């Protein structure tokens, strides 16, 4: 009997050791396999990443294309195709040294000529590219692997602009740039990335495979950069427009990863043995854009009344199915970000209809209807917010239209006073769309303009943060928009997908399949 | 007959021009344009305007119409804005799954509907009739998107018998292709189609069975099998064939929903996506294409009449 017990203990130990070592083995990187990713849209508008900043385009495209710089795990700028850089003391001269022997997928070697041709195309096609190169007096090729930018004015966000992924400064071979000019490159996409494009059948799939001659950087992987390894042989991006089906596809292992899983199923998926759940972000925040050109809203008291009436928490509870998906914060940038600030916090999520009434009375509000425009995707926002405004004494005229219609209507200041939208989190405050006076909402404020300009020039973070805090304060005082809750992206992956790095944007280099 | 067919085919031209023009006007009147899809949510109006100019959408509507129309009469459906490929090529690529699914769905609808209807008629007013007609009623009432999701959950997730969504081209792997399309086709065929076919078949068989010539046939001493299959069914099937032909249109409508749920890259998915993205050329092309299929399906039904009922002539 005793022997049996001893044997049992021995046997159990053996089992534990074996299971343990199997687990350790499973964590070892493994080459090979075919990774399948479920996309939330049935088609990708373009893989030519100079053309559009739509998220899904670079979530696929940046496996193929690379930029000179990218962002690390703290969203700070690090070199990628660039080896190193130097900024002159006056901040007007940037020297960038390129990595040598970096091969494009067509086997040509990347050099300064490719980089300059690509940057010029980027400036012609992308807004951020235009703004960046407009400030460049001279762009010279010093030798095959050195380029020099001479700026008109110092630009604190110069390198960041070269690093951002959405409609970023991706580098193509010069011949390709010359062949296509400003035209879309279709499926002739050639880059330096760890994967090359194999096949793109519109509406069916996009397939990329490992680029054997990829030359990674020589420092450890961090964020979107560092050493990239293509462990899987192939990645196929498949369209799954329905979120329930997308989630079921991960459960059954038909695909290994899917973004924007249905939040209503959060609890169930979290408990599922085949599924790993991830919350990415906050990815951005929900907001109501205020029309600065509206006659009714030209009175700051009325704008303040809207802000006082806003109950962000109620809107979020009604819009989102699970609390894991949203959070409340007065800061435009999420907690954990270097730009987090509580400036103006007292104005956030006031839920104070009495105060709103007082402000309206003070303003002498005459019952002119407030035109609230909502897209079908954010109906809950519109309906809840309408009720909150009515409780404060506003007369509200609401229209619900689908997204394409909203985008076209918001261009006409006569058609709306408020519209529901969302903003994605950006690496730098100067990239926030609503700070641009051309963005529908047309917020113009001399002090804001001055602060944004200062931020663009300044290099030192402390100074820049000071400017940003003042801008955020202004956002709450002048009310160009009403910030609601921060939202996260609920994404899921199959347990077979290993070493998945959960950043704001998805990527599949350095991940492997069990 | 040949003259009749040629005349019917010639009708296609004005129909397609009318349909194309109608869709052109409808989608251009709808607010919004393709820039809402091509550019990010946060693009400014200036960026949108630049994109419109590049796509030629800043031109007056009549200029855009005549440009599109002159292409159309040369047989060119234009280039899709969102897919960046010729519309005709996009349609051909997407025809295969929709076509195979429609054929499968029609076959399933007939295989369930016709025998169901005949049995219900022959056993009318018995519990078999009641059960069969209840199933038909269930199929008629059930929304196809709901049935699609339920079957996907049952066979795709819980039982794991079939792949959940996606598509393999027929030439690559015919068996896999059919497996992918089986549940979507069942949804399309069962909900609505098979029910309509079985109810109609039942009614017509019942009516025909009461006719004098059936009594005559029986009194001649023919076996019940010959009476039913040779005399009753052939006469009772004419309205059913009309319904089957007309079903093709309904199937394409259902394909819009089912293809989106099962992520099948067919014509239905292209239609929905093109509306959302305001991809004018793709939408116009797809609707013209569907209209042509409609007309051709009706023509096929008319020709089938002649084969089934020799009394009908088109001379």
Q: Mean per-residue pLDDT for A42-55?
A: 84
Q: Which residue of A has its CA nearest to B29?
A: A405
Interface touch B270/A440, C-beta < 8 Å: no
Sign of CA dihedral A221, A223, A225, A229: positive
Residue B315 lies in a domain: no
> N- to C-terminal Cα distance for chain A?
41
Distance CA B7, CA B119 (A): 40
Residue A284: phi, psi to the nearest 5? 180, -165
Domain annotation covers residue B155: yes
Return the pLDDT at A5: 60
Using a 10 angstrom Cβ sphere, with 0-12 exposed, 13-18 middle and 19 or more buried, the burial of residue B304 is: middle
Query: What is the nearest CA distance from A125 to chain B, expressed in angstroms?
Result: 10
* A34 touches A160 (CB < 8 A): no
Are the C-beta atoms of A215 and A107 separated by less than 8 Å? no
Q: Which of A204, A249, A440 sits opposite B265 (nearest CB)?
A: A204
Q: Which of B40, B49, B88 to mutate to test the interface with A (most CBs of A within 10 A)?
A: B40
Record the tokens describing residue A334, joined without a space. 């999420």
DSSP state of B170: T
For residue A109, give the nearest of A204, A22, A213, A4 by alpha carbon. A213
B285 vs B310: CA distance, rounded Å: 38
Nearest to B156 among A46, A182, A248 (CB): A248
pTM for the full predicted model: 0.80
Cα A449 to Cα A293, A446, A456: the distances in Å are 17, 5, 11
B313 within a domain of the structure (yes/no) = no
Q: What band does A12 get if pLDDT is binned at 50, 70 and 90?
A: low
C-alpha angle B170-B172-B173 in degrees, rounded to nearest 5: 70
% of chain B beyond a pLDDT of 70: 99
Same domain, B151 and B275: yes
Which residues on chain A are in Cβ contact (under 8 Å) with B42?
A: 53, 423-424, 433, 439
Place of tokens 């998915």: B269
pLDDT for the residue A8 = 57
Task: Give CA separation, B248 vs B99, B138, B188, in Å.
Answer: 10, 21, 10
Tell me the per-residue pLDDT of A449-490, one tens digit each, with 9 for 90 and over: 999 999 988 888 899 999 999 999 999 999 999 999 999 889
Q: Look at A43 and B39 and tell me if their CB atoms are within 8 Å.
A: no
Longest dimension (CA), chain B: 85
Collect all residues of chain A within an 8 Å Cβ-Cβ radius of residue B94. Answer: 203
Among A249, A404, A421, the residue with its CB nearest the CB of B165 is A249
Within this chain, do residues B57 and B142 fall inside the same structural domain, yes or no? Answer: no
Quick check: A42 and B269 in contact, CB under 8 A?
yes
Same domain, B41 and B140: no
**Facing residues of A490 across strands?**
A279
Contacts of A46 in chain B (CB under 8 A): 38, 84
Best A44, A125, A168, A241 member to test B by mutation, with max B CBs in 10 Å, is: A241
Supply B288's token pair.
């013209």
Categorize the per-residue pLDDT at A25 as very low, low, confident or very high, splitting at 50, 70 and 90: very low
The percent of chain B in helix, strand and coil, each rounded to the nearest 5, is 75, 0, 20
CA distances from A110 to A172, A488, B59, B167 (A): 9, 38, 41, 38
Q: Are strands A205-210 and A234-239 parallel, antiparallel or unpaired?
A: antiparallel
Look-up: residue for tokens 């009604």?
A: A318
Q: In what order do the strands lie in the sheet with A82-87?
A: A82-87, A93-98, A146-151, A136-143
- Residue B39 and residue B143 in one domain: no
Q: Decide if B120 is inside a domain.
A: yes
DSSP string of A257-313, one letter each residue: EESS--GGGHHHHHH-TTEEEEEEEEEEEEEEEE-TT-SGGGSHHHHHHHHHH--HH
- Tell if the CB–CB gap between A436 and B44 is shorter than 8 Å: yes
Q: Give the Cα separation of B314 and B269 in Å (integer).
A: 38
d(CA A484, CA A473): 16
Q: For A274-293, how does the pLDDT look when each residue is reduced to its tens digit (9 = 90+)?
A: 999 998 878 889 999 999 99
- Inter-chain touch B32–A402, beta carbons under 8 Å: yes
Give the distance from residue A54's alpha carbon to the nearest chain B alpha carbon, in angstroms: 5
Final residue in a domain of this structure, among B73, B101, B117: B73
Q: How far is CA B62 from CA A468, B25, B51, B288, in A?
A: 48, 10, 20, 19
Contact list in B for residue A293 (CB cut-off 8 A) is none
Chain-centre distance of CA A345, in angstroms?
Answer: 24
Specify whether the CB–CB gap between B262 and B250 falls below 8 A. no
* pLDDT band, residue A131 (cuts 50/70/90): confident
> How confident is the model at residue A121, as a pLDDT?
95
Asked whether residue B82 is domain-assigned, the answer is no
- Whether the CB-CB separation of A419 and A289 falls below 8 Å is answered with yes
Dist. CA A459–CA A480, nearest whole Å = 27
Question: In chain A, which residues have their Cβ closer than 8 Å to the Cβ of B164?
Answer: 245, 248-249, 252, 254
Q: Are the C-beta atoms of A335 and A329 separated by less than 8 Å?
A: yes
Name which of B55, B57, B166 to mutate to probe chain A: the one with the most chain A Cβ atoms within 10 A of its Cβ: B166
Q: Most A CBs within 10 Å: which of B79, B84, B183, as the mutation test of the A interface?
A: B84
Facing residue for B31 by CB, picked from A53, A186, A409 = A409
C-alpha A322/C-alpha A317 separation (Å) is 8
Q: Within this chain, do residues B227 and B195 fall inside the same structural domain, yes or no? A: yes
**Measured between CB atoms, which of B83, B157, B160 is closest to A43?**
B83
Q: Is B218 exposed, middle or buried (0-12, 13-18, 19+ CB in 10 A)?
A: middle
Contacts of A238 in chain B (CB under 8 A): 166, 263
Q: Which helix (H) or strand (E) holds A87?
A: strand A82-87
CB pairs under 8 A between A and B: 133
- What CATH number does residue B234 fall under? 1.10.3720.10
**Residue range B134-186, pLDDT digits in tens:** 988 888 888 888 888 888 888 887 887 887 777 888 888 899 889 889 889 99
Answer whether the bond into residue A282 is a cis peptide, omega within 30°.
yes
Res A38: pLDDT: 92
Q: How far is CA A98 from CA A68, A70, A89, in A?
A: 8, 14, 21
Give me the mean pLDDT over the B63-89 stretch. Answer: 87
The residue out of B51, B73, B95 marking a domain boundary is B73
Q: Do A201 and B90 touch (CB under 8 A)?
A: no
Q: Which of A161-165, A238-242, B267-271 shows the lowest per-residue confidence on average (mean pLDDT)?
A: A238-242
Tens digit of each residue's pLDDT (9 = 90 or more) over A294-349: 999 999 999 999 999 999 999 999 888 788 889 999 999 988 788 999 999 999 99
Residues B140, B213 within the same domain: yes
Helix axes B174-188, B87-122, angle to 10 degrees: 60
Q: Which two tokens stand for residue A442?
A: 């047309």
**Are both B99 and B19 inside the same structural domain?**
no
B79 in a structural domain:
no
C-alpha–C-alpha distance, residues B94 and A220, integer Å:
44
**How many Cα atoms occupy the beta-carbon half-sphere of A197 within 13 Å?**
21
The reply to whether B108 and B67 lie within a common domain is no
Q: Do A42 and B152 lie within an 8 Å CB cutoff?
A: no
- Parent domain of B149: 87-308
Choose the final residue of a domain: B73, B96, B122. B73
Of residues B32, B39, B153, nearest to A408 (C-beta): B32
The token pair that represents A432 in the structure block: 């926030």
Please report residues of B whose CB lies closer than 8 A to that of A438. 44-46
| Alpha-carbon distance A284 to nearest alpha carbon in chain B (angstroms) | 12
Answer yes or no: do B188 and B276 share one domain: yes
Contact A245 B263 (CB under 8 A): yes
Nearest to A238 among B38, B160, B166 (CB): B166
Structure tokens at A139: 């762009």
Q: Do B93 and A127 touch (CB under 8 A)?
A: no
List the structure tokens of A224.
């979107």
- Indicate whether B314 belongs to any domain: no
Asked whether the beta carbons of residue A203 and residue B261 sit closer than 8 angstroms, the reply is no
Nearest to B37 among A45, A166, A245 (CB): A45
Answer whether residue B80 is part of any domain.
no
Is residue B168 domain-shared with residue B304, that is, in the same domain? yes
> Across residues A213-227, what is the average pLDDT?
94
Distance CA A63, CA A215 (A): 14
Long-range pairs of B74-78 with CB within 8 A, sequence gap ≥ 24:
B77/B281, B77/B284, B77/B285, B77/B288, B78/B281, B78/B284, B78/B285
Q: CA of B165 to nearest chain A CA: how many angstroms apart?
A: 8
pLDDT band at A18 (very low <50, low <70, confident <90, very high): very low
CA dihedral (B232, B237, B239, B243) in degrees, to 10, reads 150
Based on the fold, state whether residues B54 and B92 are members of the same structural domain. no
* ipTM metric: 0.70
Of A54, A182, A242, the CB nearest to B40: A54
C-alpha span between A507 and A20 (Å, rounded): 29
- What's the pLDDT band for B261 if we cut at 50, 70, 90? confident
User: Do residue B97 and residue B135 come from a single domain?
Assistant: yes
CA distance B130 to B123: 9
Does A244 sit within 8 Å of B149, measured CB to CB?
A: yes
Average pLDDT, chain B: 85
pLDDT digits (tens, 9 = 90+) for B4-56: 888 888 888 888 888 889 989 988 888 888 887 777 777 778 888 888 888 88
Number of domains in chain B: 2
């Amino acid at each position: 009997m005793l022997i049996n017990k001893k044997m049992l203990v021995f046997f159990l130990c053996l089992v534990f050791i074996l299971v343990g070592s199997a687990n350790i083995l499973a964590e070892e990187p493994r080459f090979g396999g075919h990774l399948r990713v479920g996309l939330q849209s049935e088609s990708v508008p373009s893989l030519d990443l100079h053309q559009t900043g739509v998220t899904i385009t670079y979530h696929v495209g940046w496996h193929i294309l690379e930029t000179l710089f990218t962002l690390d795990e703290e969203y700070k700028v690090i070199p990628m195709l660039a080896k190193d850089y130097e900024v002159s003391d006056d901040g007007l001269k940037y020297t960038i040294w390129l990595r040598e022997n970096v091969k494009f997928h067509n086997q040509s070697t990347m050099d300064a000529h490719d980089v300059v041709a690509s940057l010029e195309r980027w400036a012609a096609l992308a807004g951020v590219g235009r703004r960046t190169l407009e400030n460049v007096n001279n762009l010279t090729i010093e030798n095959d692997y050195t380029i020099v930018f001479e700026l008109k004015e110092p630009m604190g966000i110069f390198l960041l602009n070269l690093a951002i992924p959405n409609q970023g400064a991706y580098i193509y071979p010069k011949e390709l740039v010359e062949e296509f000019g400003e035209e879309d490159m279709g499926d002739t996409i050639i880059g330096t990335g760890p994967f090359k494009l194999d096949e793109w059948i519109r509406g069916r799939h996009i397939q990329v495979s490992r680029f054997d001659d990829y030359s990674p950087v020589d420092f450890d992987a961090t964020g979107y950069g560092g050493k990239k390894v293509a462990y899987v042989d192939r990645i196929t991006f498949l369209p799954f427009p329905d979120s329930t089906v997308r989630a079921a596809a991960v459960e059954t292992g038909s695909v290994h990863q899917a973004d924007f899983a249905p939040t209503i199923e959060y609890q169930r998926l979290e408990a599922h043995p085949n599924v790993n759940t991830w919350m990415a972000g906050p990815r951005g925040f929900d907001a109501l854009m205020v029309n600065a050109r509206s006659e009714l809203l030209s009175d700051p008291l009325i704008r303040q009344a809207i802000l006082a009436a806003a109950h962000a928490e109620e809107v979020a509870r009604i819009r989102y199915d699970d609390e894991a998906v949203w959070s409340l914060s007065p800061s435009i940038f999420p907690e954990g970000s270097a730009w987090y600030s509580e400036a103006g916090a007292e104005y956030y999520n006031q839920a104070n209809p009495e105060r709103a009434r007082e402000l309206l009375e003070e303003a002498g509000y005459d019952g002119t209807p407030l035109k609230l425009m909502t897209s079908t995707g954010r109906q809950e926002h519109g309906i809840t917010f309408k009720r909150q405004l009515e409780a404060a004494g506003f007369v509200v005229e609401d229209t619900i239209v689908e997204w394409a219609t909203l985008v076209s209507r918001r261009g006409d200041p006569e058609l709306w006073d408020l519209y529901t939208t969302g903003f994605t989190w950006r690496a730098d405050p100067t990239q926030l769309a609503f700070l641009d006076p051309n963005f529908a909402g047309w917020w113009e404020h001399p002090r804001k303009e001055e602060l944004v300009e200062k931020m663009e020039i300044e290099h030192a973070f402390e100074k820049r943060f000071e400017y940003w805090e003042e801008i955020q304060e202004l956002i709450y005082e002048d009310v160009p928009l009403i910030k609601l809750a921060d939202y996260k992206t609920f994404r899921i992956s199959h347990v077979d997908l290993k070493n998945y790095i959960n950043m704001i944007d998805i990527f599949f280099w350095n991940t492997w399949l069990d | 007959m040949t003259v009749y067919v040629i005349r019917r085919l010639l009708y296609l031209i004005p129909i397609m021009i009318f349909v194309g023009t109608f869709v052109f006007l409808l989608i251009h009147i709808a607010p919004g344009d393709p820039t809402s899809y091509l550019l990010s949510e946060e693009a400014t109006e200036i960026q949108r305007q630049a994109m419109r100019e590049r796509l030629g959408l800043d031109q007056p509507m009549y200029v855009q119409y005549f440009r599109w129309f002159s292409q159309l009469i040369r047989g060119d459906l234009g280039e899709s804005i969102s897919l960046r490929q010729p519309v005709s090529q996009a349609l051909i690529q997407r025809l295969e799954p929709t076509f195979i699914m429609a054929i499968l769905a029609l076959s399933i609808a007939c295989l369930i509907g016709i025998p169901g209807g005949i049995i219900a008629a022959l056993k009318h007013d018995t519990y078999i009739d009641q059960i069969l007609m209840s199933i038909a009623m269930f199929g008629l009432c059930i929304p196809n998107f709901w049935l699609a999701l339920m079957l996907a959950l049952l066979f795709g997730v819980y039982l794991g018998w079939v792949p959940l969504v996606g598509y393999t081209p027929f030439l690559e792997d015919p068996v896999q292709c059919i497996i992918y399309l089986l549940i979507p086709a069942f949804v399309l065929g069962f909900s609505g189609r098979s029910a309509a076919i079985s109810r109609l078949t039942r009614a017509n068989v019942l009516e025909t069975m009461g006719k004098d010539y059936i009594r005559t046939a029986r009194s001649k001493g023919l076996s019940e099998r010959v009476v039913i299959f040779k005399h009753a069914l052939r006469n009772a099937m004419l309205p059913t064939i009309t319904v089957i032909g007309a079903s093709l249109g309904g199937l394409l409508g259902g394909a819009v929903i089912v293809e989106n749920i099962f992520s099948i890259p067919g014509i239905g998915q292209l239609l929905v996506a093109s509306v959302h993205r305001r991809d004018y050329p793709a939408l116009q092309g797809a609707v013209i294409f569907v209209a042509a299929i409609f007309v051709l399906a009706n023509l096929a039904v008319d020709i089938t009449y002649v084969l089934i009922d020799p009394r009908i002539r088109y001379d």
